[in-house]
Each structure stands twice: as structure tokens, then as C-alpha cells.
Amino acid sequence: MKGVHFLVAFVFLAFAASFAFASDPSPLQDFCVAINDTKEGVFVNGKLCKDPKLATAKDFFFSGLEISRNTSNPLGSVVTPANVAQIPGLNTLGISLARVDYAPYGGLNPPHTHPRATEILTVLEGTLYVGFVTSNPDNRLITKVLNPGDVFVFPVGLVHFQFNVGKTKAVAIAALSSQNPGVITIANAVFGSTPPIRSDVLAKAFQVDKNIVDHLQKQFCTDFLLVFVLMALASSIASAYDPSPLQDFCVAMDETDGVFVNGKFCKDPKDVTEKDFFFSGLNLPGDTSKGVGSNVTAVNVEKIPGLNTLGISFARIDFAPYGGLNPPHTHPRATEIIVVVEGTLYVGFVTSNIANADNRLITKVLKPGDVFVFPIGLIHFQFNVGNTKAVAFAGLSSQNAGVITVADAVFGSDPPINPDVLAKAFRLDKKVVDNLQKKF
């Protein structure tokens, strides 16, 4: 009888564990707007599945990554993807591959992010200067010069780049932890969105004259975007997998004096009180007299320890009268939903580099009571277009959403990104880049 009780308990615990780790799958596109009419549906996470009995080796095969690509374009690089669009067998398997070709000295895969994937890259030929920038507030630049055989990792959602510093061509192979990782080329998304982001928003965010912004917006068009194909109609699959990170990265170590992985150590439930779930202060206006005229008061696990492992946080955002700006930024680990309680905000986000909707700007003017969603990892902003102050509250789908302010990450990293990289990526004179790096 004891054995039966043990078996029942074991099965119950296993069943409970499956609930603890199974969850909605991570998105394989920027967003999937729910509809009631199935005839109008487009796609969800992946594609419809072929009968396994009909699968052949062809479904898991692709040929062509050995072919050198023509790098005679403004950036001097070409990405050849091998994702689910080329290899149907990749569907639901959560990984893809790409070959990147770089022209001799100066070939650049410009600063960009993958909103849905970590990238691991190995150099086959040539010498690459690579790096990524951590999220706010540090915006720390972590770089390395890679030679053939070297491997480097770019954590999910972080701004990163590769630049050929050798006199010969370079070639790299990259694996990405999604069948459709998405690409957001920073310069294209910010200055080449369709329709364009308002020039006064960008002038204030990047602290430059509007004439420079106008010049940049004319420079960027869809001709230079990296193209990733949209997914077709499919069923979504919930499965167990490693949890999403709650920090930019967690470097493995053998010593026992580590810091934390996803969250913090847990207090004994017997010692928990209401104080662990409580915070006071969001009624207080934030100081908007400095910088870009906005102030974010975050209420995350640092303020409310009870939020640990619960996957959500909150924030109050105050905006100065006309011109208060929460500048273009991303949350690498969270979708944001915002509600305006006072004032009028012009808000928007830019889709990633995808076919048929390249860096599309989706905007709305919000008034008190209006709600808007900014999908995880996408560049977005809020700008006060009213003559009075504005206030908004935001919920974020992580206890530590992370923030990457585009201007700070690109022009204010520590140490600074090589000016040659930025001058070529943004098509600016190096003197302008030097001036921007001094400002941030």
C-alpha cells in the first residue's frame, strides 16, 4: 500500500513539474494579433506539420552555404540564412544557421539585434572585430578580435556587430537559437522605418539637429535590409525548455561563489510577510527636468522581493510638457503594455527586418485611458505631444525586463564601439560619430 501511495505521489509531482516548466512557446514572429475569423488567419508559431510518414531526407537538407556571396554593397557584407524557410524540417526545433560573408577591410554586419535568439558565431576565414553592448544602465561594450576557429556568443536581444579588420575577405558561420530569430538593424529601424519616426523624436533622442535626422532618414531605405521570411499558418506547441534569462547573461563557473541564475535565492515561505509583496511611491511624480524630459520609476524584483520568479514587473513613466521623451529603446526580456493616465502621448514601435513589412513603424496617439502594447525585443518609444505633463503606467512580462536605450548603447558604450564601425553603419562622417560618442 505504501508503494502505491509513493507511486501516486511520484506521478502527481511529475505532473505538477510539467506544469511548472511547460508554458506558451516563445514567439517566432514580432507579434500574432488574435482574430475570431479563422479564414483571415495568417500564421502563429511555425507551420502546419507534414505527416511524419511522408518526411524524407530532403526535408532536413539545404545546399549552398559553401558559396561565397557578392559583398559589393554599401555595408560590404551578405547574410545567407538557413532557417525554416530553407529547411522545413527545422519547424518547431528552435534553431537555425547562417553564413556571413565580409568584404576585405571594412566589411560590416552592422549593429543589430535578434529579438528571439542568442547567436553563436565561428570564424572560418579572415579576422573579425566583434562585440555586443549590455543593457542599461551600464551599456558595457564587450569585444574580441576573432581569427579562424574562434567562437563568440551574442546574448539574445543585445545590440551586436561584426567588422572585418583584415586585408582579405572574411567568412563566418552563425547558429541562432530560433527557427526565425528576427533581425533589427538599428540604423534601418530607427532612421528607415515606414512611415518615418518623427524627426523631433529622433533629434532629441540622439541629441542632434533635425537637419541631420532628416539627412539620415533620406539615407536609409529598404534596399539595405537583411530579409527574413515570415512564417506561414501553423499550430502553436507548448513545450518544456530552459527558462528565458532574467539578465543579459549568466557565465557558467566551477566555483561555488556564483551570484544568481534566473532570479534570487528564496526566503523560507514561513518567514514571508505582506512587506515582501508591497511597494509605496508610484503616486509621486518623477523629476523630468533633466535629459530627455522623462523619468521611469521601476517597480521590479529589486523593489518587491515577492516578484521573484513571478515573471512580471511594473513602472510609472513621467513626461515633461511637450517634448518629454522616453527615447527609442528595447526590453530584451519583456513585452510591455502601457496605459496613459494623464496627458497625450505619441507612441510607436518598429517591426524587425522581415519580408513584406520591413521595419514598419506602428504608431498611435494615446489619451488618458488608452492602452498600447510593445512586443518583446522591438524598438519603441513614447513622446509627449501635449502642452501639459503626461503620466503612464506600464506592466512588463518579466521581473527584470532589461532596457537597451538605442542611442546610449550604440554611441555611449564603454569602451566605445570603433568609430569606423559606426561611421559605416550610420553612413556618417567619423567627425559626427566622434561628436556623438562624446555626448553619450
Question: What is the DSSP secondary-structure string of 371-408?
Answer: EEEE-TT-EEEEEE-SSS-EEEEEEESSTT---EEHHH
Q: Which residue has the higher pLDDT, 383 or 154?
A: 383
Average per-residue pLDDT in the chain? 81
249 CB burial (10 A radius; 0-12, 13-18, 19+): middle
Q: Peptide bond before 137: cis, by omega within 30 degrees of 0?
A: yes
Domain 269-439: assigned CATH number: 2.60.120.10
Is 380 labelled a binding residue?
no
Query: Does 17 score more than 50 pLDDT?
Result: no
Average pLDDT over every residue of 116-136 = 91
Task: At 89, list the grid cell.
Answer: 524540417
Contact 401, 336 (CB under 8 A): yes
Give the integer Cα–Cα distance in Å for 378 and 1: 56
Q: Which residue has the higher pLDDT, 226 or 177?
A: 177
Choose the weakest-confidence range: 15-19, 194-198, 334-338: 15-19
Q: Which residue has the higher pLDDT, 18 or 47?
A: 47
Res. 227 pLDDT band, cuts 50 70 90: very low
Give the integer Cα–Cα distance in Å for 359 and 191: 10
For the chain, give the percent of residues with pLDDT over 70.
78
Residue 43 is predicted with a pLDDT of 54
Is 119 labelled a binding residue?
yes
Residue 120 is predicted with a pLDDT of 87
Average pLDDT over every residue of 287-307 = 90
State the DSSP string of 71-101.
--STT-EEEEEESTTT-GGGTTS--EEEEEE
Cα dist from 190 to 24, 216, 351, 383, whole Å:
30, 10, 10, 15
Q: Could you state, in order of their start, the residue ranges of all structural domains in the chain?
A: 269-439
Average pLDDT over every residue of 200-204 = 95
Is 329 labelled a binding residue?
no
Task: At 239, list the grid cell.
Answer: 513545450
Residues 6+ apart with CB under 8 A from 94: 177, 178, 179, 241
CA angle 316, 317, 319 (to 5 degrees): 150
Is 5 labelled a binding residue?
no
Q: Which residues pair with 145 in a beta bridge?
A: 129
| Residue that is written with C-alpha cell 553564413 in the block | 99
Pairing of β 77-82 and β 96-102: antiparallel
Residue-wise pLDDT for 381-433, tens only, equals 999 999 999 999 898 888 889 999 999 999 999 999 999 999 999 999 999 99
Query: Does 346 score more than 90 pLDDT?
Result: yes
Note the pTM of the prediction, 2 decimals. Answer: 0.77
Res. 35 pLDDT band, cuts 50 70 90: low
